[in-house]
């Protein structure tokens, strides 16, 4: 399962926290990020939802770096 799914989280100092989820396929990666601004952050007024899709045109995903 560790080769097919990833979960994670992050923190931008004085800006926002985020949670991530993604699925890994042979040539494709699909992900979702939910980002919540901190109370002091004026740059990001509301939560954001980000979707990503990555496709390897040449070769397979082994050795593919984000």
Q: pLDDT band at 2, cuts 50/70/90?
A: low
Res 53: pLDDT: 93
Q: 66 in helix, strand or coil? A: coil
Q: Which residues of 25-49 are buried (b: 16+ CB within 10 A; e: fewer)?
A: eeeebebebebebeeeeeeeeeeee
Do residues 25 and 6 make contact, with C-beta atoms less than 8 angstroms apart? no
- What is the extent of the structural domain holding 33? 5-55
Domain count, the chain: 1
Residue 60 lies in a domain: no
Residue 34 lies in a domain: yes
Tens digit of each residue's pLDDT (9 = 90 or more) over 6-56: 899 999 887 889 999 999 988 889 999 999 888 766 666 788 899 999 888
Res 65: pLDDT: 53
Residue 40 lies in a domain: yes
* Both tokens assigned to 14: 């004085």
Residue 63 lies in a domain: no
Q: pLDDT band at 1, cuts 50/70/90?
A: low
Residue 18 lies in a domain: yes
């Amino acid at each position: 399962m560790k080769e097919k799914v990833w979960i994670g989280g992050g923190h931008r100092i004085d800006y926002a926290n985020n949670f991530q989820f993604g699925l890994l396929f042979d040539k494709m990666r699909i992900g979702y990020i939910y980002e919540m601004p901190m109370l002091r952050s004026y740059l990001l007024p509301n939560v954001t939802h980000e979707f990503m899709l990555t496709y390897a045109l040449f070769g397979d995903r082994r050795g593919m770096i984000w």
